[in-house]
Structure 1
């Protein structure tokens, strides 16, 4: 490319090699390696053995109020399709129901998870295991949505369900948020 206002090079001019340098090779950090994974996938199954969860995952979007939607079936889990895929950097966000009119639903025992317990996302023969690093309960107005849905350098999994007393007008007033990090 020639800079504006500069003369074009002479077609008969000879190029002279001044020298050359070896390419610079830098060691990649673990985060750098994760950001270049090619085995990402849309999760189809969630397994949490410690609380007896083995659920089908359905993609969900946003509801009419622009919030993450929930799965229509209470024995299934919703994957937020605008978030990360399993195996990618960022937050994979899954939601599930606490209960329905007939009793406990898929995430009824989500708040019983303990640090270090294992959570697995699968699609066919692909699977990624995560380790629980936090289990938090928030008032609805205090849920850290920016953190849950943020783009991150780590491979994180966020599991969300309702909690607390039920208000017939507003629904459940609390949320349980479980954060897990992909195991290496």
Structure 2
């Protein structure tokens, strides 16, 4: 009869260097840069509106970060929204639909920067926007950029949404 045994487990103490190599540097984004469509914008945290939806930034030249979603550098979706236009004309995300696959987007706070690469640019009817996917917890570090599009109804707002998805490259 053969006896099978187990060796005593080897336990190693983590050093400070080991701990630092696993540390994820996350931050609340304060600036969005998209050079290809000339965006260099301040980001403001936004909450939910009275209907439980992601609110929009109060200023049309700023971007809103959904504070209940991921921070930059975390796994999950960092969700940013911006206005298409206002009564004076185009707003911060007026050209969001012009982004192309592979283009660069960065989030910044001071010297901390996370770079992303655009992997999809989609236009949806309002009722077809994949909200579960946009706001879902994911294992990847993703950035979701959202704005209005399409015909405007004074009572209901815009009929479409543009959703840009980017994945972290740094």
Taking the aligned partners of 1:128 and 1:148, their CA distance within structure 2 comes to: 19
Q: Deviations over 1:75-116 (max 9, x none)?
A: 000000000000000000000000000000000000000000
Q: Deviations over 1:97-156 (max 9, x none)?
A: 000000000000000000000000000000000000000000000000000000000000
Q: Deviations over 1:7-44 (max 9, x none)?
A: xxxxxxxx999987365799999999999542000000
Segments of 5+ residues of structure 1 without an aligned counterpart are 1-14
- Give the conservation status (yes or no) of the 8 Å contact 1:61–1:81: yes
Could you list the structure 1 runs, at least 4 aligned residues long, displaced by more than 3 angstroms after superposition.
15-37
Taking the aligned partners of 2:77 and 2:125, their CA distance within structure 1 comes to: 21
Taking the aligned partners of 2:83 and 2:75, their CA distance within structure 1 comes to: 26
Segments of 5+ residues of structure 2 without an aligned counterpart are none
Taking the aligned partners of 2:145 and 2:35, their CA distance within structure 1 comes to: 15
From the superposition, tell whether residues 30 and 85 of structure 1 become closer, same or farther in structure 2 (CA, over 3 Å).
farther
From the superposition, tell whether residues 17 and 84 of structure 1 become closer, same or farther in structure 2 (CA, over 3 Å).
farther
> Aligned pair count?
170
Indicate yes or no: 2:117 matched with 1:115: no
Q: CA RMSD of the aligned region, Å?
A: 5.1
From the superposition, tell whether residues 92 and 65 of structure 1 become closer, same or farther in structure 2 (CA, over 3 Å).
same
**Of 46-55 and 24-33, the range deviating more from structure 2:** 24-33
Taking the aligned partners of 2:29 and 2:104, their CA distance within structure 1 comes to: 16
- Give the conservation status (yes or no) of the 8 Å contact 1:46–1:120: yes
From the superposition, tell whether residues 37 and 131 of structure 1 become closer, same or farther in structure 2 (CA, over 3 Å).
farther
Q: Answer with 1 or 2: which has the greater Rg.
A: 1
Taking the aligned partners of 2:159 and 2:16, their CA distance within structure 1 comes to: 39
Pairing partner for 1:168 from 144, 154, 159: 154
TM-score (norm 1): 0.82
From the superposition, tell whether residues 23 and 137 of structure 1 become closer, same or farther in structure 2 (CA, over 3 Å).
farther
- Give the conservation status (yes or no) of the 8 Å contact 1:31–1:154: no
